[in-house]
Amino acid sequence: MKRGFLVALLALGLASTFAAPANAQNWPSKTVSMVVPFTAGGSTDTVARLIAERLAPKLGQPVIVENRAGVGGALGSDYVAKSPADGYTLLVGTASTMAIAPHVYTKLPYQPVRDLSPITLLGTADIMIVVRSSLPIKTVPELLDYAKANPGKLTFASGGNGSISHLLGEYFKSMAKVDLNHVPYRGDAQMVVDLIGGQVDMAFGTAVAFLPHVKTGKVTALAVTNPKRSTTQTQLPTVGESGVPGYEAVQWFGIAAPAGTPKPVMERLNREIVSILAMPDVRKRFGEMGFDVVGNTPEEFKTFLEAENKKWKMVADVSGTKLD
């Protein structure tokens, strides 16, 4: 009796051992969801839809973009972190959700490095300081002069508490020694609308979100926060060379899955997404949005993510930004 039980137990163990690879090889057999932890219409949403549209025919299954906004991107990111590790729920992550949040939120329900498996870094995007066009400001030095002459009067918008645009504003205040008032939104889309409408004065945001409105003259771009001049917005100086030395950052976008997702699934996703990033029309579209395409391995993205967490911890400490 005991011997029969042990044989059955061993058979069950062997079956489960071979089940995971077999299931991974059959993946995908249903719709894949790409979760954007921000509202529709923003920069992350734009990037996600561009990838999803081309990923679906490669996988032979629908790929939908699911917007789960809230808490500066933490709500949607936590949803993915706690989803089944089966390759059907992916996160379109950013610097905000995968590198900044752990060092800003004191009660963050997920830890990116621990709870998410990096698939690939899609690319980096220029971040610009922009102001509403009706302000008499065309450069960073003029912004500094105006802010110091009108302490507490200028408002800066962000994509939400704890987002990269929020932290960059607080970091700017700290390094430039100016007094600005923060106005948080639930993502880029409404922030852009209100900046154009004059409800807020300025913002730190991606070229993906603001470049179309800069080109039409609805907002004025002052500088990029990149360490060096942008490869796409060459006419704009960096903030560092405009009077705030040492101030630098870039936004980035990447794809991740819940930790524990089978390796064959991760490899397939990486292969397909990197091939999409190599498409000429995709590279052209991203370039038009001020976006430098990357497309690396999961291991390279993991190393990048660890370095970004160290950097943004320093920025969070310098700015003193802490949220519940």
In what helix (H) or strand (E) does residue 132 lie, and over which residues does it extend?
A: strand 127-132
Q: What is the pLDDT of residue 8?
A: 44
Give the whole-angstrom CA distance, residue 231 versus residue 93: 23
Q: What is the pLDDT of residue 14?
A: 45
For residue 9, is pLDDT > 80?
no
Most confident of 52-56, 70-74, 94-98: 52-56
For residue 7, is pLDDT > 60?
no
Rounded to the nearest angstrom, the gap between the alpha carbon of residue 26 and the centroid of all alpha carbons in its chain is: 30
Q: Which amino acid is at 295?
A: G
Nearest to 80 by CA among 59, 58, 105, 97: 97
Q: What is the pLDDT of the chain when averaged over all its residues? A: 90
Q: What is the pLDDT of residue 188?
A: 81
For residue 48, is pLDDT > 60?
yes
Q: What is the pLDDT of residues 225-270, one digit of tens each?
A: 988 888 878 899 999 999 999 998 888 999 999 999 999 999 999 9
Q: pTM of the entire structure?
A: 0.81
In what helix (H) or strand (E) does residue 183 lie, and over which residues does it extend?
A: strand 181-184
In what helix (H) or strand (E) does residue 215 lie, and over which residues does it extend?
A: helix 207-215
Give the whole-angstrom CA distance, residue 161 versus residue 12: 49
Q: Compute the C-alpha angle 261/252/57, nearest 5°.
A: 55
Domains and CATH numbers, the chain: 29-125+251-319 (3.40.190.150), 127-242 (3.40.190.10)
Most confident of 7-21, 74-88, 180-194: 74-88
Rounded to the nearest angstrom, the gap between the alpha carbon of residue 47 and the centroid of all alpha carbons in its chain is: 10
Query: What's the pLDDT band for 23 if we cut at 50, 70, 90?
Result: low
Cβ 128 vs Cβ 233: under 8 Å: yes
Q: What is the pLDDT of residues 217-231, one digit of tens each?
A: 999 999 999 888 888
Of 82-86, 280-284, 310-314, give the lowest mean pLDDT range: 310-314
Report the SS3 class of residue 258.
strand
